[in-house]
Structure 1
């Protein structure tokens, strides 16, 4: 998102993600657990950011917050200009569908649908007319190199191809960010390289990508890496030299 200031030659780019003082506390009986402890983060359009940390570090909680799957206990979260910090469930669901393209470790493809049908699903939920969603879904499959597999069902595709279908589904709504949560966790080394190369290509085309991972080798594909430990970022985002 860009805004023109009073100076006609000055263009200001606003963050697509802005977390300020982000805290998330869970309660189980008398036990209180603070999963996020005051995280500040700004991610701008076109960035490729990795958030890396071991199990229990808080990165999954952070993913849920960024993906509008949960809300903060304290602090604010601005997503593409919208304050989602205090949204109710219906508003969060709308923000997820409009603003975020998800790619998960599990592909979450429906076996009964073709690749094209799976990619069309977010558009169907958004009320897009059948002819338009068919066209947009086919274009998304073309972007990931699977237009020739549009009539195949998930069981007829390799793991890497299934993840490409999932990426196409993430792209079809033209989201503000692509949020990839351990996207290579179920893939062999060849398919891992294939999917990471796909994310590299999307970044080079201008997509904003946030990659959640516990693997430092995978995180190095990003331009900036945030390390999470005990619910906090360890230092500022580290820019990776390519």
Structure 2
């Protein structure tokens, strides 16, 4: 299940320095991130964990270029994203980040390959190439025989694998997965986590946000967030 993403150990994909995020509502101010420093190297499989309200969702939004920092810096694959305009951030999200969410976000009227090809359509890739690349991505996640099935004809685990294929189809710098097993049963959870294991073994950089310890333990490294700071950063048994 190779993805074509060679592991280049030592090359930084994520570099956060003094990352702070403050929310304001009238006179009320809340600091969700309070000066976070950490990095993730190419080919790493890291889980970001923490209790509700810890700041991990805010951190995920920053890493995914879905929100900007109040202060500090964030470099993604060598690009200082804090210096980019909104349209440039949209390009970064499309080309460098493959998103997988708890909700599958598949369009029910589209087939599996059409759902997977959506990021390529936004990138103005020709139709024939979109279909070919979508088919390759679906084959990589074990769904090469389900190209023309619609989401309603697939199990929950299969739908999440379609979502993973969609995240991979642009050959992004990293896969960013936010609670990807939250809506899955035990069997489907194991299928998706086994897929992540294979993608990691093939050299894919994966950042997983989860509150489930058994899910986070599948990563090679866990970054624990609490009260807006890094509580600890540790290797797992893998």
- Cα distance in 2, alignment partners of residues 103 and 30 from structure 1: 36
Q: Does the 8 A contact of 1:78 with 1:84 survive in 2? A: yes
- Cα distance in 1, alignment partners of residues 85 and 59 from structure 2: 18
TM-score, normalization by structure 1: 0.94
Alignment-derived partner of residue 109 in structure 2: 112
Correspondences of 1:86-235 after superposition (within 5 Å)? 86-235=83-232
Alignment of 1:47 onto 2:44: yes
Alignment-derived partner of residue 28 in structure 1: 25
Alignment-derived partner of residue 240 in structure 1: 236
- Cα distance in 2, alignment partners of residues 86 and 216 from structure 1: 35
> What secondary structure does 1:192 align onto?
helix
TM-score, normalization by structure 2: 0.95
- Find 1:74's aligned residue among 47, 71, 75: 71
Deviations 1:9-47 (A, max 9, x none): xx9832011000000000011000000011011101100
> What secondary structure does 1:36 align onto?
strand
- Cα distance in 2, alignment partners of residues 194 and 12 from structure 1: 27
- Cα distance in 2, alignment partners of residues 141 and 12 from structure 1: 27
- Cα distance in 1, alignment partners of residues 33 and 173 from structure 2: 24
Specify every segment of 5 or more residues in structure 1 that has no aligned partner in the other structure, as ranges: 3-10
Q: Does the 8 A contact of 1:80 with 1:176 survive in 2? A: yes
Q: Does the 8 A contact of 1:36 with 1:61 survive in 2? A: yes
- Cα distance in 2, alignment partners of residues 22 and 15 from structure 1: 17
- Cα distance in 2, alignment partners of residues 87 and 72 from structure 1: 12
Q: Does the 8 A contact of 1:71 with 1:86 survive in 2? A: no
- Cα distance in 1, alignment partners of residues 20 and 212 from structure 2: 24
> What secondary structure does 1:173 align onto?
coil
- Cα distance in 2, alignment partners of residues 43 and 154 from structure 1: 33
Q: Does the 8 A contact of 2:116 with 2:165 survive in 1? A: yes
Deviations 1:148-199 (A, max 9, x none): 0110000000000000000000000000000000000000011001100010
- CA 12–238 in structure 1, closer or farther in 2 if over 3 Å, else same: closer
Specify every segment of 5 or more residues in structure 2 that has no aligned partner in the other structure, as ranges: none
